[in-house]
Structure 1
Amino acid sequence: HSIYNIGCVSFVYSCILTRGIEEIQNDYDQGSIQTLLTPETLLCSQELVNLCLIGRAVSNVFDNDIQCNGLSLQGVKKQSTIGFLTLYEYGGGAK
């Protein structure tokens, strides 16, 4: 609880308020747990990471939407200029 942590909190609030609560709720997949923090650990959910990176709180990282057993799963509709770096890529495995 330091004054130095306020920047991160302000950024997250800005992302949430810019997208809007109602739009964030519309971004969630049907039947998903609708939270931006995981209840057990209070870590960021994939939805919050996606909100900060691509501006939408979708649950998935695949391109576009897909149908799976009658459910519509929302993915990333437009590629961002920044994105994810896997441990494999970080470790130099993608060279």
Structure 2
Amino acid sequence: MSQVIGVHAGFVDTDLSTWTDAPKISAADVAKQTLQALANDQDEVLADEETWRNPAREASPVEHRTARTRTARPPAGIAPGQKKE
């Protein structure tokens, strides 16, 4: 059986993102969260604070939003479903 996991992240700290000084998440942290999601039968990883706050994901149909699960911990200072002011 196959499982598809949506992995969402802003800038990941790799050679491809050296052009920007924007906050970045480590590739190791994205991989760790993805493996945790796989082990916990989750279907979505919101890897960093920017992704947790991104209102664009709310454009998906409501039945998909309510069925989604998130990784076990939100980024520091953000509660699940909370938008940072």
Say yes or no: TM over 0.5.
no
Superposition TM-score, scaled by structure 1 size? 0.27
Max Rg structure: 1
The structure in which a higher percent of residues are strand is 2
Superposition TM-score, scaled by structure 2 size? 0.28
